[in-house]
Chain A
Amino acid sequence: MNALKKFLGIIWMVTGPLAMAFLIVQAIQKVGLTHTDIERTNTILQWAIILFIFFPISIGLVIFGFYAVKGEYDKLPSSSEEI
């Protein structure tokens, strides 16, 4: 199980930047498809919100993966005293 935790850790470390790259490509594509001024402003606003929120979360996923690779989750604390 610990080997699986570490292997998946690598997946999470890769997933974070990949997810962000996917969102950025989607944002550029969708903003490019809009025509009028108000429609374009709305689309930029919507995608700005999404990117603003998910950027720090994707960093969190990378850190989570890093901890997993380092074996930090191999044994979870059995009480909050061990944290």
Chain B
Amino acid sequence: MSETLPKNNIFKVIGASSLGTLIEWYDFYIFGSLAVIIGHQLFPEDAGASALINTLAIFAAGFIVRPFGALVFGRLGDLIGRKYTFLLTLVLMGGSTFFIGLIPSYRSIGYAAPILVLILRLIQGLALGGEYGGAATYVAEHAPKNRRGFFTSWIQTTATLGLFLSLGVIVITKNLLGAETFGNWGWRIPFLLSIVLVVVSIYIRMKMHESPMFSKLKAEGNISKNPLKESFNNKGNFKMVLLALFGATMGQGVIWYTGQFYAQSFLENTCKLDFNDSRYILLWGIAFATPFFVIFGAWSDKVGRKWIMLSGMLLGIIFYRPIYQIFLDDTDFTKIEKNDILSSSPTTKSILIEGTQDSLKTVTTKVLLKNGASFNIIQADTVSVTKGLLPVKEIMKDKVLPTAVFWKFVGLIFFQILLVTMVYGPIAAFLVELFPTKIRYTSMSLPYHIGNGVFGGLVPFIATLIASFAGATPLSGLWYPIGIAALSLVIGTVYLSNKRDENIND
């Protein structure tokens, strides 16, 4: 490193990089955390399950364009520098999140609502595609060679902490406003709040210096003229991009999104857990597991990155089905005996169906059990003037777990996030060491965002879709992450090296 180049304090570098990345993840995840409510706002009221699947498809669209963002902004990062590129991504991300909070509902503007949200979601995906590679590269290029895993692992905590922040803001906003107000317009607040967080982060990032390795390349006139061509037209480099994707990031992506996203979706939509309970379980799991990103990152500096990441995949393959079977069994309240019930109080509501003389009669029965659990049984019948009572199936929802089961679920989520820390903690250092400085931003961003964004980001969408097939069980959706993780495990075991590249200054 040249003596004349500015030297940042490594912890300032990590703090400034991490804060911006955390905010980008926050922006990206609030959409997924509010999928059910947004689905009601963006699509016709009678859309039913397809509203959720279409909302998850819009959510997934943000992931799909991440690799394109990686190419566009990765190229910029290798051409004009790391600092200015990820300032730009931050502005794009914050702006589009803010505007999602302002989009009118389907009732006001029809299908223009989901189309506008889709466009903003695509911008979010492009911005995030450019952000992560820059932040990881920036930190790694400041870190000492024998502690690269440790220092980059702080960047790795940001995705999970972004999810934690999004869940926390949503739960607090909902509890302050009440469920009805939150469903009507309160869900917009977490989106609008993003603009404040982004302004703070831009202020901090403006004060950062350029990466010393990039500055050195620039001073020597060795900046890549066409990083895309050098990354993907050079066979030696392209084969490493493919190896990184199929042997590491693909498996890492599905483990990440199963443990932290599909788990919550499964608890809320399949097990019919209460809105707050499903989020509190995840919040506790994240809080307990997050330090392990740093522990596994630091450990990978000593024992290598490969086996830690692959062990996380193997444990996921083995334990996902048993874990989700426990979720199903422990939330099955259909077999409760009469003497388990402490109280049962029904309330009836009737509303006239617009344009007819028929009415919709909803009976909500709040059931409290002696072990502390509770749930609602909802029976919605149409009372037709001509055909009489047309009953529909009862729905059991808003389940609140007894304390012991609640903490058991926290333990199971903790275990899944522990696997996430194993696959994700060391991966930034692993990717940084795989590629040379002048095309690093471009080369590492692409496999990361295809693996994490496309394979991982599609877990909720594809797993929900598979579970909706005729003859499928609620656990059928898990075959997608298990299959992808198994493929990645085999490729990683056979083809990856455990050796670390100590010199990344090339």
Residues of B within 8 A of A45 (CB): 54, 57
Whether A38 contacts B237 by the Cβ 8 Å rule is no
The answer on a CB contact under 8 Å between A68 and B495 is: yes
Residue pair B434, A80 in contact (C-beta under 8 Å): yes
A83 lies within 8 A of chain B by Cβ: yes
- Other-chain residue from A33, A38, A50, A57 in contact with B450 (beta carbon distance below 8 A): A57
Tell me whether chain A's interface is mostly helix, strand or loop, or mixed.
Answer: helix
| A39-83 with Cβ < 8 A to chain B | 39, 42, 45-46, 49-50, 53, 57, 60-61, 63-64, 67-68, 72-73, 76-83
Give chain B's interface secondary structure class: helix
Which of A8, A63, A73 is in CB contact (< 8 Å) with B490? A8
CB distance from A22 to the nearest CB of B (A): 11
Inside 8 A of A25's CB, which chain B residues have their CB? none
A53 & B499 in contact (Cβ 8 Å cutoff): no
**Is residue B64 contacting chain A, with contact meaning CB distance below 8 A?**
yes
Is the CB of B239 closer than 8 A to any CB of chain A?
Answer: yes
When each residue 470-506 of chain B gets 1 if its CB lies under 8 Å from chain A and 0 otherwise, what string results? 1000000000000000000011001111010101101
B50 at the interface (CB under 8 A from A): yes
- Distance, CA A1 to CA B494, complexed state (A): 8
Q: Are B454 and A73 in contact (CB under 8 A)?
A: no
CA distance A83 to B53 in the complex (A): 43
Q: Which residue of B lies closest to A15 (CB)?
A: B487
Contact (Cβ within 8 A) B239 A67: yes
CA distance A18 to B491 in the complex (A): 18
Task: Give Cα A61–Cα B250 distance, bound, in whole angstroms.
Answer: 12
Given contacts A81-B436, A83-B234, contact A60 B245 (CB under 8 A): yes
Closest beta carbon of chain B to A65's beta carbon, Å: 10
A32–B473 CA distance with the chains assembled, in angstroms: 21
Interface residue from B50, B470, B495 paired with A42 (Cβ < 8 Å): B50
Which residues on the B side are within 8 Å of A57 (C-beta)? Answer: 450, 454
Residue in B closest to A50 when the chains form the complex, CB atoms = B462
The verdict on B236 contacting chain A, using a C-beta distance below 8 Å, is yes
The answer on a CB contact under 8 Å between A4 and B497 is: no
A81 CA / B501 CA spacing, docked (Å): 10
Cα(A57)–Cα(B501), bound, Å = 27
A46 touches B242 (CB 8 A): no
Proximity bits, B235-258, A CB within 8 Å = 1, else 0 = 111011011011000000000000
Distance to closest chain A CB from B443 (angstroms): 9
| Residue of chain B at shortest CB distance from A33 | B470
B60 contacts A by Cβ under 8 Å: yes
Closest 8 CB pairs of A and B: A80-B436, A64-B242, A83-B236, A42-B50, A76-B497, A67-B239, A73-B495, A81-B506
Query: Can you add 19 more A-B contacts, CB < 8 Å, to A38-B50, A61-B246, A83-B436?
Result: A5-B494, A8-B494, A30-B469, A42-B50, A42-B53, A42-B54, A46-B57, A53-B64, A60-B246, A73-B495, A76-B496, A78-B499, A80-B433, A80-B434, A80-B501, A81-B436, A81-B503, A81-B506, A83-B240
A residues near B, CB below 8 A?
1, 4-5, 8, 12, 30, 33, 38-39, 42, 45-46, 49-50, 53, 57, 60-61, 63-64, 67-68, 72-73, 76-83
